[in-house]
Amino acid sequence: MPEEQVYRIDHFLGMSMVLNILGVRFANQFFEPVWHSGTVDRVEIVYDETLGLEGRGGYYDKAGALVDMIQSHLLQVLALVAMEQPPKLNEVELRSNIAQVLRSTQVWNGDPVAASHRARYSAGKVGDRELPSYADEKGVDPKLQTETLAQVTFEVATARWHGVPFVLRSGKAIGKYTTEVRVHMVPAPEIPDFGGAPAADRVVLDLKTGEVEFRVTMNGSGDPFKLEQSTLSVKKEPGELLPYGQVLRGILEGNPLLSVRGDIAEECWRIVDPVLAAWREDKVPLEEYPAGSSGPEGW
C-alpha cells in the first residue's frame, strides 16, 4: 500500500496537542530564541496514571510501560518538543522533521543500563481504591517481570540539543495523575545582594488539558531583595473533538498529517531496543513501589 494511504493511529497526536506544542515553540519570541542547549538544562516528559490494570492484564503483561507508552506516545512528544520548525505544516514536512529528530535520538551516553529504571507496583491505595500487587492482578504472569513504571533518559544528538537529557517516564497506580512536558531552564547567574542564586525557571505543558505554565523567578512579595518563583498559567479551551476523534477525522478526510509514518515507527523501536535487551537480560533491577506512591525512592 502507498505510505500516504496507511494510517498508524496514535491518539497522543491529536491536532490540539500537536498545535499547542508547535505554537509555544515557534509562534512567539519568548521561547524559540532560548529553546536550545545553551539555556535548557533538561526536558522531562511524564505520563503517570492513577489507574491500575483495569482488566487489561492480558495485553499489558506482554507489553509493559516501556512499550505501551515510551516507545510510542512519549517518543512522538519528544520529537515535537525537539524538532526544527517545518517549512510547511503538512504531512510531508511535519513528519519528515519528526523523523529527523528520532534518527538523532539514542539512549543517554549509549548506556541502557545506567540510563533506565523499571519498577512495578505492590499492594496499596490510590485515592479511595485499594489495589492488589501487580503480580496478583488477573492475567499477570509474575515470571515475566513486567514493569508498570518505566523511566529512560535519552539524548538528541543535534547541535541544538547537545548535552541536554530528555527524561521520559510513565507509570501506573501512581498517586498523582501527571501528563506534562517540563522544560527546565539553566538558572540565571547570581545577582549580588538578592539573597542567593535564582531558582531554575521552567515551562510546563499539560498534554491532557493544553494548559501552559511558566514558572519564573522574580522579586518576592513584600521584600524586593528576596527572589521567589511565581507561576503564570494559561488555560486552554478543549478542541471540538477528543484526540481519537481528531485522528479519525484525518482518516476520513484523507489527511495523514497525524498518522505515524513507517520510518518513524521503526525509529521508535530502534531507540528503545537496547533498553529492552538490557531488561530481558536482567541487567536493570525490577524495583517495587506501593500503589498510590510517587514511585521508588531516588528516581
Average pLDDT over residues 262-285: 98
Q: How far apart are CA 53 and CA 244, in angstroms?
A: 21
Query: Cα separations (Å) of 82 from 35, 204, 228?
Result: 9, 15, 29
Any idea which residues carry the catalytic annotation?
73
Q: Domain ranges in the chain?
A: 3-187+254-290
Q: How far apart are CA 280 and CA 282, in angstroms?
A: 5
Specify the pTM: 0.94
Q: Does the pLDDT at position 265 exceed 90? A: yes
Amino acid at 118: R
Residues with Cβ within 8 Å of 273's Cβ and at least 6 positions away in sequence, in order, are: none
Categorize the per-residue pLDDT at 35 as very low, low, confident or very high, splitting at 50, 70 and 90.
very high
pLDDT tens digits, 146-197 = 999 999 999 999 999 999 999 999 999 999 999 999 999 999 888 877 766 7
Least confident interval from 7-16, 138-147, 188-197, 248-257? 188-197
Largest CA distance in the chain: 67
User: Does residue 182 contact residue 202 with C-beta atoms inside 8 Å?
Assistant: yes
Categorize the per-residue pLDDT at 224 as very low, low, confident or very high, splitting at 50, 70 and 90.
confident
Q: Which CATH number fits domain 3-187+254-290: 3.30.360.10, 3.30.710.10, 3.10.105.10, 3.40.50.300?
A: 3.30.360.10
pLDDT score of 280: 96
Burial class (CB in 10 A: 0-12, 13-18, 19+), 57: middle
Task: Write the Ramachandran bin of 109: left for phi over 0, alpha for psi from -120 to 50, otherwise beta.
Answer: left
Average pLDDT over residues 199-212: 91
